[in-house]
Structure 1
Amino acid sequence: MTSQRTLVIGDIHSGLKALKDLLVRARVTSEDTLIFPGDYIDAWSDAVETIDFLIQLRASHNCIFLRGNHDELCYEWLTEGKDNPTWFMHGGRATAESYANADQATKNIHISFYESLLNHYLSEENKLFLHAGFTHLKGVEHEYFTKAFYWDRTLWELALSLNPHLSQTHEHYPQRLIHYDEIYIGHTPVTRMGKTTPQKAANVWNIDTGAAFKGPLTALDVHSKEFWQSDPIHTYYPGEKGRN
């Protein structure tokens, strides 16, 4: 194991038991930089416990936390108190039930955590990390629609649709993709493709391996491309349905 790794960890979806197992399997130390592309909650029963753990992890490790669409939906629910039936249908009910046992002080700490999340992170090596995607041809700094950072699916669809032999210098190569050496996302589970391991299309890496459903949780070393996985996440939560 090399020191000072940069590990990107997929969408957790309240699967704290799987996350703890994954950190052991990947032999994570305080020397490692951990990048989380969002969707920390919604699906399994450990929503409050997952956020508590991540806040503690940030105190002992170099962590970069990005904003996912589920995190934003939970934040809106906590701060505005509005019922969102669609959110409830897609994992929010388990999160709301978890927060029913939390006091207001805990909720306030979590609200601050959700407010601190980044929409995107660009490393010194020109590697871009974000939850979902972006639409502006000139890159994330020019994006008009900030919700695209945690809702967009067209970036991954675009990468998948490309002819793998098309050169970046070709006149029809998508301008969105040429600004960054690599792009790392979650949001769209690769289980939709029948996969349970990180997938690369063009220069885009998708590390959402379906932890909200019956896939494992994944940590990927962005330099070596070695990866580690938990067991299928539903096995840690017998009797629960997740987002099935």
Structure 2
Amino acid sequence: MTPHLESGPRQPAPGRLPPGREVIAIGDVHGQRALLDCLLDGLLQRLAGHAEGSVEVVFLGDLVDRGPDSAGVLDRVAAATRHGLGPARVHALMGNHEQMLRRALEHRPGAWEMFLGNGGLATARSLGADAATPQAALAAMARALHGPRRRLLEDTLKSHHRVGDYLCVHAGIDPARRLAAHLARPWDEVEPRHWAWIREPFLNRRAPFEGGVIAVHGHTPAQGPQLCANRLGIDTGAAYDGPLSALWLKDDGLSVIQAVP
């Protein structure tokens, strides 16, 4: 079945953006290249007429694993981060699945098994690797992850991206940590569970986060977008045959656009 786009109604936005700025956050892709192509091609049409640089597109991480074409997703996202999406600038965040892939490629103890146990077999196959033999598979994956793919994984992915009141992260925010201090530190100095793995106590928090920040995140799949006063969750289960969702934030409201299988 060919994916198609569906758009939800515009709703009030919980936060503010700088004047003239818009943000499009894209949830966990998980190797679903067909859904990604459908979504990005539809967004390109809707971005026609926007001023150069007025819109920022942010991939929230978990580009790889579970779905059939992680290699193709990496290629499309790498090209978008280099060249933009029409008039929009494009950013990409590090998800826990990118972390697991990188650790496997670094031959860390137990990393290969953890990678395979979390949907990595599909990624290995899309990269032309035989996952039955770890050493050979990792060597084949390293060869396939060259050029733009490697630059994306090693240099481009960020821990977070903030625009106005909205803080884009992969998994969430740890309420027990001083957020301002962590925002000022580079990715490799921040304990990775803070950005890429957390679920609780983040998901059940109802109080505002430090500084009134509103988290825009993926990581925890749900049947539909989770649009709360302090967090906006948009992992709608593309990894499990659900739609791939994008959240379009403007100063006067928000809307959800989905590529539906």
SS, match of residue 220 in structure 1: strand
Find the counterpart in structure 2 of residue 77 from structure 1: 104
Kept after mapping to 1: 8 A contact 2:170/2:195: yes
- Calculate percent identity across the aligned residue pairs: 28
**SS at 1:230's partner residue?**
strand
User: What is the aligned-residue RMSD (CA, Å)?
Assistant: 2.5
Q: Give the paired residue count.
A: 210
- Counterpart residue number, 1:89: 117
Partners in 1 of 2:108 and 2:125 — Cα distance? 14
Letter in 2 for 1:17: A
Q: For structure 1, which segment, 100-109 or 148-157, has the greater mean C-alpha deviation from structure 2 after superposition?
A: 100-109
Q: CA deviation at 1:155?
A: 4.8
Matches within 5 A, 1:28-39: 28-29=46-47, 31=52, 32-39=55-62
Amino acid at match of 2:127: Y
Distance 1:49 1:128, change over 3 A: same
Q: Which amino acid aligns with 2:31?
A: S
- SS of the residue 2:168 aligns to: strand
Q: Deviations over 1:32-76 (max 9, x none)?
A: 321011000001111111111111112221111110000111112
Q: Name the CA distance, whole Å, in 2 between partners of 1:200 and 1:77.
A: 34
Measure, in 1, the Cα distance between the counterparts of 2:196 and 2:177. Answer: 17
Residues 140, 213 of structure 1: alpha-carbon distance in 2 compared, 3 angstrom cutoff: farther
Q: CA deviation at 1:208?
A: 0.5
Question: Does residue 67 of structure 1 match 2:94?
Answer: yes
Structure 1's unaligned 5+ residue stretches are: 163-172, 233-244
Q: Is 1:180 aligned with 2:212?
A: yes
Residue 225 (str. 1) matches residue 254 (str. 2): yes
Structure 1 5/129 Cα, relative in aligned 2: closer, same or farther at 3 Å?
A: same
Tell me the TM-score normalized by structure 1. Answer: 0.76
- 2:120 aligns to what SS in structure 1? helix
More deviation, 47-56/99-108: 99-108
- Structure 1 position 202, deviation (Å): 3.2
Shift of 1:119: 0.9
In the TM superposition, 1:1-244 aligns within 5 A as 5-26=22-43, 27-29=45-47, 31=52, 32-61=55-84, 62-80=89-107, 84-100=112-128, 106-109=144-147, 110-116=149-155, 117-123=157-163, 125-135=164-174, 136-139=176-179, 141-142=181-182, 145-159=191-205, 162=206, 173=207, 177-190=209-222, 195-196=223-224, 198-223=225-250, 224-232=253-261
Higher RCO, 1 vs 2 (CA within 8 Å, ≥6 residues apart): 2
CA distance in structure 1 between the partners assigned to 2:212 and 2:255 by the alignment: 21
Segments of structure 2 that go 5 or more residues without pairing to the other structure are: 1-19, 130-139, 184-189
In structure 2, what is the Cα distance between the partners aligned to 1:17 and 1:92? 19
TM-score (norm 2): 0.72
